[in-house]
Structure 1
Amino acid sequence: MLHGDGQATRRNVLKAVGGTVGSTGIVGLASASEGATIEVNVGYAGKSGRRAARSEARSIRREFAFDALTITVNENAIPGLRRRKDVRYVEENGSVYALRPGKGGTDVDGSSTGQTLPWGIDRVDAEVAHGGGYTGAGADVAIIDTGIDSDHPDLQANLGEGKAFVSCRGGTCNEPWDDDNDHGTHCAGTADAVDNDEGVVGVSTEATLHAVKVLDKRGSGTFSDVAAGVEWTADQGYDVGSMSLGASSGSQTLKDACSYAYERGVLLVAAAGNSGPCSDCVGYPAAYDECIAVSATSEDDSLASFSSTGPEVELAAPGEDVYSTVPGGYDTFSGTSMACPHVAGAGALLMAEGYTNAEARQRLRDTAEDLGLASNEQGYGLLDAAAALGLDSSDN
């Protein structure tokens, strides 16, 4: 068990590891021809399992530090690999997507004047935290997404290192990790836009942002790409990993990556998904114990109609009509993708003050505001950044 704080009881109806993709076999992977070559993730136990997987590989795409690798292999080799006691799983390298159901259409030309306080930043009392001197300075936040616009005036001062696991192919790619979609830049602005009298302000304002590009210009990627981004985030020693992405079924490889990162001190935050209305439909990786699953609320504190819900939901945050940065300007998007970086930014505020990932997670739970929604809709409640820092927003 990861946490000794009752977390297991909140998740006791979860499916084991999300879809049991490693133990049930790969369905529908083969093409019509005999012996098709497919891409799979293989988890192994010991050097012999690694050797067996490598020996069957037509090509090796990636090797992980947590005893797994991504290979292309003839489908006929899969049953033999799966029967081996030193092979933990063989799974299809499926797809993951940015989680955004809709977008607005304001100020995409960058014509915003002055600085706007987005309603979500205000609702979670982040500006109270800023007024108290909390900015997230010293914390590192990885936006594991489509990249970040490398020359956006509201983000540039906070940008640190980046890493691309898929190539930037559209727009202006000044860096390999530049955003050729817009989704990652929008999330980055909510988490950590600079307080600079223009554009918008983030939940944190002086944390260091790191673009971990795992989704392409269409907003899609693979389990292996996302797992590699999570692993890299952990290996850099970053504090927070924000994942506004997901899939309806799980991946043991991504689960292993999340365990690897959490054990190394990363606070992992993930969007619950946009499959609502529903009662038990949280996607992956949000459904994993290692991640804070975030549902989305509207400006009237109701659950956003698109938000996925389920016993895995841990916190709620603003996710409808969220105004933030995009390449070339600003725009309004909706989705649990927009809720997720609110929590990531608050995590940065706490970890900048010396909280560990587990301590920050518990503090966010303990200080969340009860909206009166069902527990599978709000989890512990709505994010309250000021309360998490011990500040009283009523004094502001």
Structure 2
Amino acid sequence: MTDLDRRTFLGTAAAGGIALAGMGVTSAADPESDAEQYVVTATGQVRTRLEKAGVTVRATVADDTVALVEAPSGEAVRDVSGVRSVEPNVGYQAVGPAHQSTEDSWNDTLAEDQWDKHAETTGAFEAHDTATGAERSVAIIDTGIAPDHPDVAAEMSRGKLFRADGASAPDGSPTVDGDTTVEARLPPNGEEVAAYTYLGSPATRSQPAGDDVDSHGTHCAGIATGVHDGTTGIAGMAPDASAVPMRVFYWKEYEGYPLDTDDDGEQEEVTVTTLWTTDFDILSAIDYAAEQEVDAANMSLGGGVLKGSAHASGEHVAYQRVVQSAVQRGTVVTTSAGNADADLQHEGYYTLPNSVPGSVSVSATGPSNELAFYSNYGTSDIDVGAPGGGYGTLEKTLASDTEWPYPTNLVLSTVPADLNDGKQYAYYAGTSMAAPQVAGLVALVREVNPDLNAKQVQSIVQNTARYSKGKSSADLGAGVVYAPDAVAEASRR
């Protein structure tokens, strides 16, 4: 392992699956307007009351109880009857996944390299004798899904792009149908000054709105629903389920990025191109996934570790309301626990969206079924563990003398060839890789018993998990998910 490889893994794995760093308030769609965007939560349906008060309502979710509005200030919205909270629609910069590409070509048989699907871990291959996720679907709330990958069955027509500033939609609306052709920005070729952050203008191309603009979403889709015909490629947890792209990330030019310009620490504010999303983009995707009646909505994304009083913030309330609405409508929401190696059990720490009640928060494990060195943990937050790649220490993860030497102890899945120098498969690591394992398992459970509601499905996934003493481990929650027993239990219900 070279020093460069070691630094690359350290720099990305510690940062997060797609971890998010707050970068300020998004501007309104109309560049001539003085209005800013806010996320409003209300005690009941609020659209009509807001509009009567002269507030521009761009969109609502969760039965009109959470709204995206434009107003000159938050004070102009807070006095409307029924409004509970008004928060800026904060924009987030992605700060990077952990990954190591392989040299494997698309026509290799790669299932034997998928330790995450073997009997010792999730048992997915054994479960496929009973269930494969046929006629079920999983939403991937992420960077999009490549529609032409041979191992991913992407339902572009059911997908969407969510962009609150309306810049991608011909009519300026905050959503675009997934199969609509848009002019999309791609990862720039200029100097990378931070993870997912480049100087210079990005390349653009015409593509379906739900197509991947990074690689992360396609990788998660492969883990959950990768097609496997027995001769080529990889197999997902639910290989006959479809993946629905809910693209919430897009490349955006950001003005005022602080860049060190000399050895003395002097900084200047420059314009960069960065991978971006906002709170309302994510909230809209969760809500739309439930509207589409998908079996699971996977979010391999999250913000930094927060503490204490932020639990009562309007942002937290909005996420809780939308997630719980989705669960009530039948969609299981799976979330990555985060990659900060943080104890979420003590001193009131938590992260969004995985700490929201109702979501299934997933920690990351490796081939040994133990917590990966980067994964967050804590009995207050972790529901189950699932393979995310790596071992309990960075040193063991990078070692060459283990049963699964680096990078093979990471998770192998699909990536878009056109964004990866022709490669269609790569090894990534993170709780980002763990969450879609559970989303795919939901599809297996629902195939054998489609009448189960979301809470019943979550109960089965937790009750059949393994390797957790007392089913309340700070590292693994109820344990590492185990597909054969989950499918068997679902068939008995």
Shared fold, TM over 0.5: yes
Match of 1:179 in 2: 212
Of all paired residues, the percent bearing the same amino acid is 30
Cα offset, 1:246, TM superposition: 1.3
Which runs of structure 2 are paired with 1:100-119 in the superposition (5 Å)?
A: 101-107=97-103, 110-111=105-106, 113-117=108-112, 118-119=114-115
Tell me whether 248-257 or 329-338 shows the greater mean CA deviation: 248-257
Tell me whether 301-310 or 359-368 shows the greater mean CA deviation: 301-310
Which runs of structure 2 are paired with 1:353-368 in the superposition (5 Å)?
A: 353-354=448-449, 355-368=452-465
Tell me whether 144-153 or 84-93 shows the greater mean CA deviation: 84-93
Cα offset, 1:63, TM superposition: 2.4
- For 1:289 and 1:47, the matched residues in 2 are separated by 22
Which runs of structure 2 are paired with 1:74-89 in the superposition (5 Å)?
A: 74-75=72-73, 78-79=74-75, 81-89=77-85
Match of 2:432 in 1: 337
Q: 1:148 aligns with which of 113, 137, 145?
A: 145
Structure 1 regions of 5+ residues with no counterpart? Answer: 1-27, 392-396
Match of 1:253 in 2: 318
Tell me whether 236-245 or 112-121 shows the greater mean CA deviation: 112-121
1:212 aligns with 2:246: yes
1:231 aligns with 2:328: no
- For 2:133 and 2:95, the matched residues in 1 are separated by 26
Instruction: Please give the per-residue CA displacement for 1:243-285, whole angstroms capped at 9, x wherever unaligned.
Output: 1111235533232221221110101111111111434454211
Which runs of structure 2 are paired with 1:1-396 in the superposition (5 Å)?
A: 37-46=35-44, 50-52=48-50, 55-57=53-55, 59-64=56-61, 65-75=63-73, 78-79=74-75, 81-95=77-91, 101-107=97-103, 110-111=105-106, 113-117=108-112, 118-122=114-118, 123-130=121-128, 132-156=129-153, 161-166=158-163, 167=168, 168-170=184-186, 174-196=207-229, 197-217=231-251, 218-248=274-304, 250-280=315-345, 281-310=349-378, 311-320=380-389, 321-328=410-417, 329-354=424-449, 355-371=452-468, 375-390=473-488
Instruction: Please give the per-residue CA displacement for 1:107-128, whole angstroms capped at 9, x wherever unaligned.
Output: 37x4551232411122200001
Cα offset, 1:169, TM superposition: 2.6
Amino acid at match of 2:483: A
- 89 and 261 in structure 1: CA distance in 2 versus 1, 3 angstrom threshold: same
Amino acid at match of 1:388: A
Cα offset, 1:29, TM superposition: 6.9
Q: Could you tell me whether the CA contact under 8 Å between 1:144 and 1:244 is conserved in 2?
A: yes
Instruction: Please give the per-residue CA displacement for 1:279-315, whole angstroms capped at 9, x wherever unaligned.
Output: 4454211111110000001222221121112211100
- 308 and 210 in structure 1: CA distance in 2 versus 1, 3 angstrom threshold: same
Report the structure number with the largest CA radius of gyration.
2
Count residues in correspondence.
356
SS at match of 1:181: coil
Cα offset, 1:85, TM superposition: 4.7
- For 1:370 and 1:99, the matched residues in 2 are separated by 32
- For 2:333 and 2:484, the matched residues in 1 are separated by 20
- For 1:263 and 1:115, the matched residues in 2 are separated by 38
- 48 and 208 in structure 1: CA distance in 2 versus 1, 3 angstrom threshold: closer
Tell me whether 168-177 or 227-236 shows the greater mean CA deviation: 168-177
Q: Could you tell me whether the CA contact under 8 Å between 1:324 and 1:330 is conserved in 2?
A: yes
Amino acid at match of 1:142: A
- For 1:107 and 1:172, the matched residues in 2 are separated by 26
Q: Could you tell me whether the CA contact under 8 Å between 1:318 and 1:342 is conserved in 2?
A: yes
Structure 2 regions of 5+ residues with no counterpart? Answer: 1-23, 28-32, 169-183, 187-203, 252-273, 307-314, 390-409, 418-423
- For 1:43 and 1:269, the matched residues in 2 are separated by 23
Cα offset, 1:84, TM superposition: 4.8
Amino acid at match of 2:86: V
- 227 and 55 in structure 1: CA distance in 2 versus 1, 3 angstrom threshold: same
Cα offset, 1:36, TM superposition: 6.8
SS at match of 1:390: helix
- 337 and 361 in structure 1: CA distance in 2 versus 1, 3 angstrom threshold: same
Q: Could you tell me whether the CA contact under 8 Å between 1:48 and 1:86 is conserved in 2?
A: yes
Q: Could you tell me whether the CA contact under 8 Å between 2:384 and 2:481 is conserved in 1?
A: yes
Amino acid at match of 1:270: T
Cα offset, 1:73, TM superposition: 1.7
Q: Could you tell me whether the CA contact under 8 Å between 1:115 and 1:199 is conserved in 2?
A: yes
- For 1:274 and 1:337, the matched residues in 2 are separated by 9
Q: Could you tell me whether the CA contact under 8 Å between 2:362 and 2:434 is conserved in 1?
A: yes
- 141 and 93 in structure 1: CA distance in 2 versus 1, 3 angstrom threshold: same
Cα offset, 1:52, TM superposition: 3.5
- 345 and 98 in structure 1: CA distance in 2 versus 1, 3 angstrom threshold: farther
Amino acid at match of 1:254: Y
